[in-house]
Each structure stands twice: as C-alpha cells, then as structure tokens.
Structure 1
Amino acid sequence: MEHLDPPARPTTRLETRTIEVVPDEERHGTPRSQFTLWFGANMQITAIVNGSLAVVFGADPLWAVIGLLAGNLLGGAVMALHSAQGPRLGLPQMISSRAQFGVLGAVLPLCLVIVMYLGFAATGTVLAGQAVDGILHTGTPWVGVVVFGVLTTVVALLGYRHIHVLGRAATVLGIIGFLYLAVRLIATQDVATLFGTKPFDGATFLLAISLGAGWQLTYGPYVADYSRYLPRTTSARTTFHCTLWGSVLGSQWSMTLGVVVAALPAATGQGFLDNQVGYLGDLSGGGVIALLIYLVIVVGKLTVNCLNAYGGFMSALTTVSAFTRERQVSQRARTSYIVAFITVSLLVSLLASDDFLTNFKNFVLTILMVFTPWSAINLVDYYLVSRERVDIPALYDPSGRYGRWNVIALGCYLAGVAAQIPFLAQTLYTGPVTTALGGADISWIIGLLFTGAAYYALTRHRSNSPEHMLDASEAISDHQGEEKHTSPS
C-alpha cells in the first residue's frame, strides 16, 4: 500500500486534517479540554427542553431528576468509552468502526449518523435562531436562523482547536447564565413544593432514564473526533473521566432546570412549552439581562451545532472515501462538505414543524434505537475482542484485513435494531412489551445488551485484529518483511 507522508504543519488558521491519522508530532492538549468541551456543549437550551420532556409526559419532578441522572450516567459512561479511543487511534470515531463492519459495511451506520447530525443541527438551529432574533430584534425568525448558520459555518471551518476554544467559552458563560437563572427561579418561585407531588410511576421514570441515556449515547458516533489530537500517551482512564463528568454535569444541570421550569404553573399557556427561548428571557428579568441570556443560549447552541456540522462532514467524507479510497482531501473539498451540510440543516430548520417538543422526543428515542447497537458492537470489539489492537492502514483499504463487508457485525447490528421493536414507545408504534410495562421504553437497554452479547459470542474466537496496534509505518514494515520472507532465494 502506498505510504502517504503527513503534510507539513498547517500555516493557516483552518484545520487541515480530516479522516486521516493525526501524526504524533501534531498531537497536543490535555484531557481537561474534554471536560470543558462537553460541559459547555451540554449547557444549552436543547438539553433544557430534553429535561422538560420527562415532566411534560407525566413524571413527578423529583423522579424525573433522578431518572435523568441515572440515564446521563449510564449513557455517559458508554459515550466516554468511545472518547477514550481517540488518543490511542488518532482517528475520527466512525473511521474506526470499519474494523467491525468492514470498509463498505460501515457505510450503513454512517448514513444513519449523518441523518442524526442533520436532525440535531436542524432542531437546535430553530431554538438558536429564536435567541439570535431576540438579540437583533429583527422580528423575522428566518434571519436569526441564517445568522446562526453562518456562525456555525465559520467555526466548523476553522476546526478542532477553535471548537475547543468555543467549548471553554460556553462553559464559562453557561455556568454564569444558568446559575443566574437557577437563582432567579429559587427567588421568584416556590420550587421546593414542586417535588414529590405525584406518586412514583415506573413508566415515566424509565422514560426519564431513556431521555438522559439517549442524549448521551447520540454523542458516541463523534465523541472521539474531539479527543483524537491528544498525545498518544494520554491516559485512557483520564480521558474517560474528563469526558464523562464534563458531559454528565453539564447535561444534568441543564435538564434539571428544564424539569423545574416545565413543572411550574407559569410553564402553561404562553409559557415555557410554547416559547422556550422567550420564557428564559422573561425569567431572567428582561431588558439587558435577557439579551445576555440570549447570548448564553447562542454560544451554547453554537458549540454543539459546530460538533454536529464537524461530525456531519467527517461522516459524509468517511462514507464517500469508502468507495474512493481517499485518506486526505483538499481544503476546498473540506469546505464544500461543511457548507453543504449546514445548508441542508438550515433548510430543514426553516421547514420544521411547530410541534417541536413532541417531534424532538420522538426523534431522540428513534435515533437511540439505531445507535445503541452500533455502540455496543464498536465497544465490545475494541475493548473485549480486538483488545485495542487495530490495523489502521487496513481501515482505508477494502481489500485489506477488514474487507469490504463484515457479515457478522452487520447481522448483529440489524438484529439489535429488530430486537428493540417490541420495546418501543413511539407515536406511530408502541411495542407489545412496552404496553405490558405501562408505556415504559427500555428499547435502548435491549439494544445495548442483546447486540453486545451476540457480537461477542460470535466473534470472540474469530478476531481479525493484529498482534499489536499497527500504524502506517509499522504496516509497511511488516508487509515488506513478508515479501522478503516469501521471495525466492
């Protein structure tokens, strides 16, 4: 296989790396950057909306908070295990899934990942556009959406370093802004009386767990994109914990705020459920303070929207490169992928349904159905079957070690999706087991456990991994050694 020398260090502010391995000499940063990125990315209004859904659909606020915390911890642990792969491999997350599914087989989950990114980018842009409009006072919602799209494009084009800088800014602003809102709630409302007003209900409690877990698990397909520049010697344990606690603390804070505002009597009529952004502006006291809260909302949403755009273009490029065998693309191509993704997400957001809360709940739970099997296969293979040994050059070669298709992985993936159907609780379909459980959706648990167990049972004695991790230079050396050994004397 042809060896591609890494390009020189970039001389512009724009990131030049895409789906290729990040060379050791370009690695930088510490795991602390994972904490601030994921904390800042979760201190945002969509997480508040996500938390409110537990109350909107019937949970007592106390059990909603507990259920969301349990879900955030469970899903966050799975997501952080993906993050720990980044420093070791130096690769975007979805490239590594070729080791399980095959170079072409990985296209199936990749296409679903792109749909997920578009969905989250579009729904988040609706809320962010409202906040931008609250700052600019244009009175025209589409203007705020477009302005936010332009901001997302600029930061996503600048790339990895600047996304992490934005994450640090979102952390600081989020703490200040959300702490102020919490104080305002406690000062103006009798918050304590909201908790424990309803008896425990298993179905709504499990829904709260699913909302928390689903929120975290959907980060899995791109979380390693933001740890891949860390030095190879970075502790996997430290990366895991920094990612886990940054994401869990940020999301739980936001979701708890959502639980409280959804439970307040003021959250009816023209309150939070009808105008989430405007409600938070009014809660802040209005005036200049409201403008600052809108700014906090925009920065938080900008952080996570850049993650969606950046991950979306990486996934699109990974999909195309499976057929073209490209490892690197030009800056112009990189720009084209990002602009195209954001343009599509803007169009979707401008055409979005007004029934935002219900659609968002269904979107989160549906996406959860198709990504828990992928996550289970990726983690079981990496940590238990391959034991962190990957032939990196083979990830780009359909004729290499991992081949074009891995029938076992694809079969387990599809079986894992199908196994969840009886456990679904969706608007269009409710599974028979869910009905027997009183409406509780536990499909994501089935997806993780069933798929992981099936894949491990079928592959633990059939590992296709090398004896040790192979980077480009080692693979070439091994290949040349084999040629020398087999050549006639």
Structure 2
Amino acid sequence: MNKEQEMITVPENERVGKPKDLFFIWFAANIGILGVVYGAMIVGFQLSFVQATLAAFIASLSFILVGYISVIGKKNGITTFMLSRAAFGIRGNWIPNFLGWLNLVGWLAVNVITGTLILLSLMNVFNISQNNTTTMICLLIFASLVLLSGLLNQQQLAKLQTFFTYVFGGLTLVILAILIPDTDWQQLFNMPNGSWLTGFLPAVSIIMAGTGISWSIAGADYSAYQSPDNKNSAIMKSVVFGAVIPLFIIMFVGTLLSTSLPDIATSANPIDVIAHALPSWISVIYFITAVGGLIPQCIISLKSARVNLETMNIRVSDHVSLTIHGAIMIFIPIYVLFISQDFLYNFELFLGLLGIGIAAWGAVFIADYYFNRKAGYKLALLDPNGNHTFNKVGVMSWFVGTIIGFLFTNTDFFDGPFAIGIFRDNSLGLLLAFMSSYLSYVILHPFMNKGGHTSERKQQAQ
C-alpha cells in the first residue's frame, strides 16, 4: 500500500468508535426546535391528523439511507465521498463531490444566520436593542462556537454530541410539553382526509429531501471511525433510531401545534412565533435551547465539509481548512444580515435544487455498492493517482437522474417543463432523480464488463 492509499482509510488506531457514538451524533443533529415547522408543513398539505402522523413517520425513515451508507463506511473505514470514487471514478466523482461540499457549507451558512437571529432574540429578552453592533457580536459568538468544534477529534466530538443530546434534547422536550396543552384537539381530529397522491406523497417527499436524503452525504464520515468489530446491524440501528426518535417526536408535536400556531409553517421567523406562545418566564431557556439545537447540525456540516474538501484533493492544514470554512460561515451571513435579506430566500432555493444532484448521487452510490458488495472496495479504485479515473456507468446514471429531477421541479427562478400537477411546488422531482439514477445504473450495469468498472476491479485485484 503506497502513501496515497494510506491516506484513503481512517488510521486503525482511530477506528475505536462504538455504535452508541453514532446514536448520539444523529440524535443531537435532529433535536432542533425548528423540526416543529416540518410537522406544521405536513398538515399544510391538507392532510388529516392520521395522515400527517404517518407522513412524518415515513419521512423520518429516510434516515435508513444514512444508516446504509454508514454501514459501508464502517466496513471500509473510509469516508463518504472517498468511497464515492468507486462509483464515479476519480475525475467523475469531482462534480457530485463539489455539489456535496457546496450543499454542506451553504446550509451551514444558513444555520449560522438562524443562530445569529436567535441570539438577537435572546438579547431582546434582556432589553438589549438590536443594531449592527449587536448583530455582529451575535454572529461572531455563534460562528465561534461552531468553529471551536473543528478543533476536536472524533472521540471528543462524540462526547460533545452526547452532551447536546442529553441537555438540549431534554430542554426541547420541556419546551414542547409546555406547548402541547394549547392544542385544539377538536380541530385536530376533525381535519378531513386529504389526497394520498397530491397531498400525502408530496408532503413525505419534501420532508425526506430536507432530512435523510440531505444528510446522506455525511453518513460514512462518522462511521468510518467505528471499530471494524462492530456489527453492521448495530451501526444501522444506532443511526436510524438516533435520528428517527427525535425527528418524529418533534414533527409530531409540530402537527399538534399547527392548530394553536397556524402561522408557524409560513412565518419568516418561526422561532419568534413559538416564543410568543410560551410563558415569559421560560423565554431565556427557550432561546438557549433553540441555539443548542442548531449547533450540532452545524458541527456535522462543518466536519463533513472539511472531509469533502480533502476528497477533492484540496489538502490544507486543519487551521487553513477552518479559516476557509470560517470565512464562508461569516461572509455569507454578513451579506444576508447587513446588505441583502432577499438573498437568503433565493440562496435557500438554490440549495434545494442542489438536493436533486445529491439524491441522484446517493442512488448511484447505493447501486454501485450493492452490485459490488461481495468484491468490496479495492483501494486502487480510490487512489487519486490510479487508473480508475472515470466510471461511465455511474456518471451517466447520475446525469440521467439529475436531468429528470430538474425536468419535474419548479422554484421561483426555475421551472421544469413537467413540474405540473402533483409535481408542482414540492420535492417529488428529487425522489424521481433518486429512482431514475438507481434504475439507470441497474439497466447499464450488465455492460460494465466491457472495459468498465467491474473489469477494472478484476484487473486491479490481480
């Protein structure tokens, strides 16, 4: 094994993680109070209480995709987009790798903006007026808290996420328990059944897009540090249950709150909407809880973004990497908070469109592993100096899914020609991208023996 190949896998002395570490990592990433907005959004598709509850549960199960990718990472001790080189080739992997990095740093910036606004709301509780100076102070405080996590190793990070799970997960439950009694139960149970095709399915798709599918690009980044002796089933259960439990509970409460807080899903600042519904004595705890729920998501985004940067062969020191991502975390929020607030809305739409490419990538990644799981990943396939530069089947399948996804997707600045009927104003195009890429790979896979990915495996294994 040469030096380049040694850099592909996580060092054996660092592969000491336990499944419970993954449970707390993904639990902490899903305790954010903003999850109630997802629940309210589901009801907004004109669904009954039973339909909304079922939609929340099915959507949360999208983390099975994250769990499956985590199992692959554990078995190989290799991070997500490093493994992705096998499915796309070294050069073919560059575009989805870049999209993954862009998606991570983009949502990281959005979460930093949200965290800054929450800290400003906390200052208002203490009668500290909002101005450019206090806004800048809040931005620097929140960004610094996230950047400090970049100095932690994997074991320290797991302990920190465990802390967030117990402390802020518990506080979130307290906040939700205070809000639940305001539910209008009669209105809730009287909501009529909506359409399963034009309401239920789009509701599930839009939540899946923002949860399991979105987080799939980070799955193996954490499981790569797991001990090789850990059972695959334990990895899967830890990831799925760790994410589904808090996500489903918080979304379920969101469906309840849709009766007492009808504007929560459409408000520009849902955090303040929830705050006004709470007793004044708990306002400080609430805003601290909201901040604490955002930080774990930012930590995961930051770590995976740094890993993705390295996978694109942009190798810099940890301090330089933190400087690059820190600058992005600060400059984008500065532009949004001080110059152009309209930019944030369009930026979020843009990041949503990137999700189509991420979904298509996930399908190709899963399909490639499924067909080649017995042979396993040869490090030569992942070596940037190796011969596996371009896997036509993987790249073609990705393009097919991405194009189909865009054809059936619409936003305020982009309209796919087939984004009509049940495909209008939702994320069904993203699910089509996933399914189309997977089917394309299945159809094209038999031709891989002719100078393609499979034959390369055989040659390099000899």
TM over 0.5: yes
Question: 1:71 aligned to 2:67?
Answer: no
Query: Residues 369 and 417 of structure 1 are in contact (CA less than 8 Å); yes or no, is this contact kept in structure 2?
Result: yes
Residue 130 (structure 1) aligns with: 117
How far, CA to CA, are the matches of 2:233 and 2:375 in structure 1?
Answer: 14
Please, which runs of 5 or more residues in structure 2 have no aligned partner? none
Residue 296 (structure 1) aligns with: 289
Distance 1:227 1:305, change over 3 A: same
Residue 153 (structure 1) aligns with: 147
| Aligned sequence identity (%) | 19
Residue 206 (structure 1) aligns with: 201
Equivalent residues in 2 for 1:266-277, closer than 5 Å? 266-268=261-263, 273-277=267-271
TM-fit CA distance, 1:265: 4.7
The one-letter amino acid of 1:242's match is S
How far, CA to CA, are the matches of 2:141 and 2:297 in structure 1?
Answer: 16
135-144 vs 203-212, greater mean Cα deviation: 135-144
Residue 10 (structure 1) aligns with: none
TM-fit CA distance, 1:25: 2.9
Please give the secondary structure, in 1, of the residue aligned with 2:217: coil
The one-letter amino acid of 2:324's match is A
How far, CA to CA, are the matches of 2:411 and 2:56 in structure 1?
Answer: 19
Please give the secondary structure, in 1, of the residue aligned with 2:304: helix
Query: Residues 362 and 434 of structure 2 are in contact (CA less than 8 Å); yes or no, is this contact kept in structure 1?
Result: yes
Distance 1:293 1:192, change over 3 A: farther
TM-fit CA distance, 1:378: 0.7
Question: 1:111 aligned to 2:98?
Answer: yes
Distance 1:50 1:219, change over 3 A: same
Candidates 367, 370, 377, aligned match of 2:354: 367
TM-fit CA distance, 1:144: 1.7
Residue 319 (structure 1) aligns with: 312
TM-fit CA distance, 1:267: 4.2
Residue 9 (structure 1) aligns with: none
Distance 1:347 1:416, change over 3 A: same
Query: Residues 110 and 315 of structure 1 are in contact (CA less than 8 Å); yes or no, is this contact kept in structure 2?
Result: yes
RMSD of Structure 2 on Structure 1 (CA) = 3.0
Residue 329 (structure 2) aligns with: 345
Residue 13 (structure 1) aligns with: none
Residue 166 (structure 2) aligns with: 172
TM-fit CA distance, 1:427: 2.9
Indicate the structure with greater helix content.
Answer: 2
Please, which runs of 5 or more residues in structure 1 have no aligned partner? 7-18, 469-474, 483-489
Distance 1:267 1:356, change over 3 A: farther
Please give the secondary structure, in 2, of the residue aligned with 1:339: helix
Question: 1:219 aligned to 2:215?
Answer: yes
Equivalent residues in 2 for 1:298-447, closer than 5 Å? 298-321=291-314, 333-352=317-336, 354=341, 362=349, 365-387=352-374, 389-400=376-387, 402=388, 404-431=389-416, 433-437=418-422, 439=424, 441-447=427-433
Candidates 40, 47, 68, aligned match of 2:35: 47
How far, CA to CA, are the matches of 2:308 and 2:94 in structure 1?
Answer: 9
Please give the secondary structure, in 2, of the residue aligned with 1:273: coil
Distance 1:188 1:436, change over 3 A: closer
Please give the secondary structure, in 2, of the residue aligned with 1:221: helix
How far, CA to CA, are the matches of 1:421 and 1:308 in structure 2?
Answer: 25
31-40 vs 348-357, greater mean Cα deviation: 348-357
Residues 170-201 of structure 1 deviation map (CA, whole Å, 9 limit, x = unaligned): 21124322222222122234345334424403
Distance 1:70 1:410, change over 3 A: same
Residues 248-267 of structure 1 deviation map (CA, whole Å, 9 limit, x = unaligned): 22222222333333x23544
Candidates 126, 135, 142, aligned match of 2:136: 142
The one-letter amino acid of 2:374's match is R
Query: Residues 101 and 308 of structure 2 are in contact (CA less than 8 Å); yes or no, is this contact kept in structure 1?
Result: yes
Residue 257 (structure 1) aligns with: 253
The one-letter amino acid of 1:258's match is G
Query: Residues 8 and 383 of structure 2 are in contact (CA less than 8 Å); yes or no, is this contact kept in structure 1?
Result: no
TM-fit CA distance, 1:310: 1.0
The one-letter amino acid of 1:382's match is Y
Candidates 238, 244, 252, aligned match of 2:240: 244
133-142 vs 161-170, greater mean Cα deviation: 133-142
Query: Residues 159 and 310 of structure 1 are in contact (CA less than 8 Å); yes or no, is this contact kept in structure 2?
Result: no
TM-fit CA distance, 1:237: 1.7
Distance 1:367 1:51, change over 3 A: farther
How far, CA to CA, are the matches of 2:343 and 2:72 in structure 1?
Answer: 35
304-313 vs 356-365, greater mean Cα deviation: 356-365
